[in-house]
Chains A and B, each alone.
Chain A
Amino acid sequence: MSALAITAGFADPVIEAQAHFHALMNALARPGSIQPFPAALDAPAPLTPELAAVALTLADHEATLWLDETLAASKSVVDYLRFHTGARLVANPSDAAFALVADVAAMPSLASFAQGTDEYPDRSTTIIVAVETLAAGGELELAGPGIEDRTRFDLSPRPAGLAAQLAANRAKFPRGVDLVFVGAREVAALPRTTLVSEV
């Protein structure tokens, strides 16, 4: 591996990590709202800049990363994430603090990730999924903490059986996973508290 094989992370790690965290915090606090996510970094394909920005903002030696098959198959992606985050990469999704999913079609079921325990529901996976588009309005109706009454949201492509999987995830509360969707320079999230119905 030559030193040149690894492309750059954030130009200003302190300020940019704060800006991306701020967007993620607002996204989780207001489910279904779409937040700007600059992700101005040079990530090696198939790792999208947005997935890379989440990893660089939140992962480190204390927080494990799980990569889907598409990402794990790319040596440049693995090298990039190892170099920039120092996070331990895990093979089993149920060991992951954060999971990066580039290929929505091949995404494992939500139940295969860490669900936390009744005593420590925070010890669960936050799944970051790269999608093509996020839309306010659309076919998913959301309600729950962070939403004043009801709101509409949609994403494309949508993971298989998303609404049913989210309902099962919600039923386990306080256990369960939290979902973050990154699109082109934007981010939205569905924490485990959100009630999702298809309309």
Chain B
Amino acid sequence: MSAVAAPQASGYNFAYLDEQTKRMIRRAILKGIAIPGYQVPFSSREMPMPYGWGTGGVQVTAAIIGPDDVLKVIDQGSDDTTNAVSIRKFFAKTAGVATTTETKDATIIQTRHRIPERQLTEKQTIVFQVPIPEPLRFLEPRETETRKLHALADYGLMHVKLYEDISRHGHIATTYDYPVEVADRYVMNPSPTPKFDNPKMHMSPALQLFGAGREKRIYAVPPFTKVRSLDFEDHPFEVQKFDKPCALCAATNVYLDEVVLDDRGGRMFVCSDSDYCEERRADGHRGELSGEAPHLVGGAA
């Protein structure tokens, strides 16, 4: 599917939010870009969807989107889950912007917990929906204290947490929302993306914006910025490895989802990034189960 434009519904301001709200969010975004990884407080609004459905990401997207933008929304890598479809429809309706499922055509990609497998470009902005922006929150519940720890760049607590992982499990057991250090200063939550995606944030050509609606925080990683996953010299950061390629498109070095096939223990592992998988299948790549899968899942031809 290439970009599809829709007429804007009447009765809404462009992209739903009122102009004063957009200015407030825009000011927060600019400060976020100037202080990479620092969480800028903003007066998050009620949105026509519940907290946890991406209200922070939606507000950031609404503040930056223009009539010429092409929007892609993914939920766990997929373009066709409820959350992704409804947010895409929301902007098609309130802003009349073109939407797409193809990573290469998008200028703004709003994401819940994945970074597309295809390398992003300088023309693109990726907006993350963030549930808990504070990396230290489960270690120190008081906002006054975590704010002080960030001010002092005191991240010892986080290193103790990772060390406790090692002493208990023999390795760092954090697999998603894996803390990163941005531009040699702030420790930041990358939102619950699998740690597999952390290396994609480092020196990314695309601007990365993060919106947490319930927690009322916006933060950013400018393009070409150092993003280092926290680790230890003797326990270096590692991403997940899969022992099989994608069962539909045979891709390796991608993040795979497990799909249960029957009640006798049958399962398959397929690309979590649905656009990437479709594109590879359209290019003729075939995985070991692509013939078995239902026609629609297996793709045309």
Query: Which of the 9-residue segments A22-30, A40-48, A75-83 touches chain B?
Result: A22-30
A119 to chain B, nearest CB (A): 5
Report yes or no: B33 in contact with A28, Cβ–Cβ below 8 A. Answer: yes
Interface residue B172 (Cβ < 8 Å from any Cβ of A): no
Cα of A125 to Cα of B147 in the assembled complex, Å: 21
Tell me how many residues of B have a C-beta within 8 Å of chain A. Answer: 44
**Once the chains are docked, how many angstroms separate the CA of A25 from the CA of B150?**
25
Contacts of B288 in A (CB 8 A): none
Assess whether B133 is interfacial by the CB under 8 Å rule: no
Knowing A28-B34, A146-B222, A174-B185, the reply to whether A119 touches B23 (Cβ < 8 A) is no
- What is the bound-complex CA distance between A122 and B205, given in angstroms? 24
CB distance from A117 to the nearest CB of B (A): 8
Given contacts A122-B40, A146-B222, contact A174 B35 (CB under 8 A): yes
CB distance from A112 to the nearest CB of B (A): 19
For B224, what are the chain A residues with a Cβ–Cβ distance below 8 Å? 145-148
B36 on interface, CB distance cutoff 8 Å: yes
A15 adjacent to B23 (CB under 8 Å):
no
Contact (Cβ within 8 A) B223 A122? no
Convert B121-159 into 0s and 1s, putting 1 for each residue whose CB lies closer than 8 angstroms to a CB of A: 000000000000000000000000001101110000000
Assembly CA distance A13 to B18 (angstroms): 12
A-B contact count (CB 8 A): 114
Cβ of A126 and Cβ of B30 under 8 Å apart?
A: yes
Interface flag for B225 (CB, 8 Å): yes
**Interchain CB contact under 8 A, B35 and A121:** yes
Q: Are B19 and A122 in contact (CB under 8 A)?
A: no
Complex contact A122–B28 (CB within 8 A): yes
CB atoms of A17 and B19 under 8 A apart: yes
The complex places the Cα of A145 from the Cα of B182 at a distance, in Å, of: 9
Q: Which of B64, B147, B225 touches A25 (beta carbons < 8 Å)?
A: B64
Contact of A13 with B223 in the complex, beta carbons under 8 Å: no
Query: Are A14 and B13 in contact, CB atoms less than 8 angstroms apart?
Result: yes
For A193, what are the chain B residues with a Cβ–Cβ distance below 8 Å? 34-36, 183, 222
* Residue in A59, A121, A122, A124 with the greatest tally of chain B CB atoms within 10 Å: A122
Q: Which residue of A lies closest to B36 (CB)?
A: A145
What residue in chain A is nearest B18 (Cβ atoms)?
Answer: A14
Residues in A with CB closer than 8 Å to B171 are none
Q: Which residues of B contact A120 (CB under 8 A)?
A: 41, 147
**Chain B hits for A15, CB < 8 A:** 14, 66-67
Contacts A119-B148, A122-B40, A145-B222 known; A58 to B26 CB distance under 8 Å? yes
A29 x B222 contact (CB < 8 A):
yes
Given contacts A145-B183, A174-B35, A191-B34, contact A21 B151 (CB under 8 A): no
B166-216 contacts to A, CB under 8 A, are 183, 185-186, 203, 205, 207
Docked Cα-Cα span, A19 to B223, in Å, equals: 20
The residue from B27, B41, B65, B147 contacting A18, defined by CB atoms under 8 A apart: B65
Residues of B within 8 A of A121 (CB): 35, 38
Within 8 A of A (CB), among B11-55: 13-14, 19-20, 22-24, 26-36, 38, 40-41
20 further A-B contacts with Cβ under 8 Å, apart from A18-B65, A97-B27, A118-B151, are A18-B64, A21-B22, A22-B64, A29-B33, A58-B30, A60-B23, A60-B24, A63-B23, A117-B151, A120-B147, A122-B31, A122-B35, A126-B31, A144-B183, A145-B36, A146-B222, A146-B225, A148-B224, A193-B183, A193-B222
The 7 sampled A-B contact pairs (Cβ below 8 Å) are A60-B20, A121-B38, A122-B31, A122-B40, A126-B30, A145-B222, A146-B224
